[in-house]
């Protein structure tokens, strides 16, 4: 067993920061080959501009100044206060030496100290057609008493390969069913007249998306939280592209989609929430929102190449929409959970 100490990350220690970033890059390359690549600029920006609605901790396993492993721990403060979400990684050259087990013990001790009873992490698995994705994280979690609670799938759309003529035809067909709605694109903080409706749509993600056995409970998202998130993204240098569908007669927000382009990202960006209010489903709004925002990516960043998204495998309706606009399966990413 290698000797090491578990210490909090020191943002003022440049050598430690560089070793930490090198670790994250090595873990990503080993465990998620072919997935969205590690973005060091995003990691650095996240340290400087963190979340204000959660207790976030970064712990490192360090030996002679070298970072062997890391623990990223997020404990929500405004909702789901029973939960602790985490990500862990051990350098490929340092595995099977007790580093991961020690970090996991530290995680569970910290969670217990903060009164957290449900621990969960998203872990990659190959799935059909992705043999190079590592099973190490999932196997380790199972051995430590964690159970798969939600099965997810990660897809990506190659914007260079999209058939724009087919997308035009899909847009026209969907538009015929959406005459009573207006699409409103915006970036960053939502317009004042939309912000409360946007908050409501984000809150619905906690109740509407399939959760399997993942113990994620309802959240009260209000305009204050939307402003916190928007300011955090601004400070991180993220471009937050959004499109809302507005019901013309009532003025209510009927649907929302978002894509986040991280600071320093040149080719890869991330699809965030997409949701349509149950009151307004059946008008092909999800398809229109996806197409509009996907095209906004290239309008803002002409050289952007890939958009990544994830869905519960049981969410067949959204998966069908994603595949219709060009997304293709890459690998599985599943929630592993332990209740204490």
CATH number assigned to the domain covering 5-116: 3.40.630.30
CA distance 287 to 120: 31
Comparing C-alpha atoms, which of 139, 104, 120 is closest to residue 31? Answer: 139
Q: Write down the pLDDT at residue 63.
A: 97
CA distance 209 to 302: 31
Residues 6+ apart with CB under 8 A from 304: 159, 261, 265, 266, 267, 268, 269, 297, 298
Domain ranges of the chain: 5-116, 156-333
In tens, the pLDDT along 219-274 reads 999 999 999 999 999 999 999 999 999 999 999 999 999 999 999 999 999 999 99
Q: Write down the pLDDT at residue 127.
A: 84
Report strand pairing: 152-158 vs 147-150: unpaired
CB 84 within 8 A of CB 107: yes
| Sign of torsion over alpha carbons 126, 129, 130, 132 | positive
Q: Find the Cα–Cα–Cα–Cα dihedral 123, 53, 195, 251, rounded to 10°.
A: 60
In tens, the pLDDT along 279-316 reads 999 999 999 999 999 999 999 999 999 999 999 999 99
CB 186 within 8 A of CB 240: no
- Burial readout 308-326 (b: 16 or more C-beta within 10 A, e: otherwise): bbbbbbebeebbebbebbb
Alpha helices in the chain (DSSP H): 14-31, 40-48, 99-113, 136-143, 164-175, 195-208, 223-236, 285-300, 316-324
- For residue 157, give both structure tokens: 């759309």
Q: Do domains 5-116 and 156-333 have the same CATH topology?
A: yes
CATH number assigned to the domain covering 156-333: 3.40.630.30
Residue 306 gets which letter from DSSP? E
In tens, the pLDDT along 1-56 reads 568 999 999 999 999 999 999 999 999 999 999 999 999 999 999 999 999 999 99
Cβ-in-10-Å burial (0-12, 13-18, 19+) of 292 comes to: middle
CA distance 181 to 193: 16
């Amino acid at each position: 067993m290698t000797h090491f100490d578990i210490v909090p990350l020191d943002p003022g220690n440049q050598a430690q920061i560089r070793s930490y970033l090198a670790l994250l890059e090595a873990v990503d390359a080993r465990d998620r080959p072919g997935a969205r690549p590690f973005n060091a600029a995003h990691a650095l920006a996240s340290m400087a501009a963190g979340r204000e609605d959660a207790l976030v901790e970064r712990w490192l396993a360090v030996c002679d100044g070298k970072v062997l492993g890391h623990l990223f721990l997020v404990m929500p403060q405004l909702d789901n206060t029973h939960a602790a979400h985490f990500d862990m990684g051990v350098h490929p050259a340092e595995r099977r030496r007790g580093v991961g087990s020690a970090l996991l013990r530290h995680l569970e001790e910290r969670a217990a100290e903060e009164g957290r009873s449900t621990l969960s992490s998203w872990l990659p698995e190959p799935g059909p057609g992705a043999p190079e994705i590592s099973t190490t994280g999932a196997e380790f979690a199972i051995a430590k008493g964690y159970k798969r609670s939600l099965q997810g799938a990660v897809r990506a759309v190659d914007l260079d390969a999209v058939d724009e003529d087919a997308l035009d035809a899909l847009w026209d067909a969907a538009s015929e069913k959406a005459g009573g709605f207006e699409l409103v694109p915006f970036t960053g903080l939502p317009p004042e007249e939309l912000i409360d409706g946007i908050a409501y749509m984000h809150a619905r993600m906690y109740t509407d998306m399939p959760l399997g056995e993942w113990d994620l409970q309802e959240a009260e998202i209000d305009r204050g939280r939307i402003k916190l998130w928007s300011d955090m993204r601004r400070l991180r240098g993220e471009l937050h592209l959004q499109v809302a569908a507005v019901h013309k007669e009532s003025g209510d927000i009927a649907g929302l989609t978002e894509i986040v382009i991280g600071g320093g990202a040149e080719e890869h960006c991330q699809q965030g929430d997409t949701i349509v209010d149950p009151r307004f489903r059946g008008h092909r709004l999800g398809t229109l929102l996806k197409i509009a925002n996907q095209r906004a990516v290239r309008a803002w960043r002409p050289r952007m190449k890939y958009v990544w998204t994830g869905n519960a495998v049981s969410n067949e309706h959204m998966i069908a929409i994603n595949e219709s606009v060009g997304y293709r399966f890459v690998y599985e990413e599943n929630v592993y959970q332990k209740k204490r």
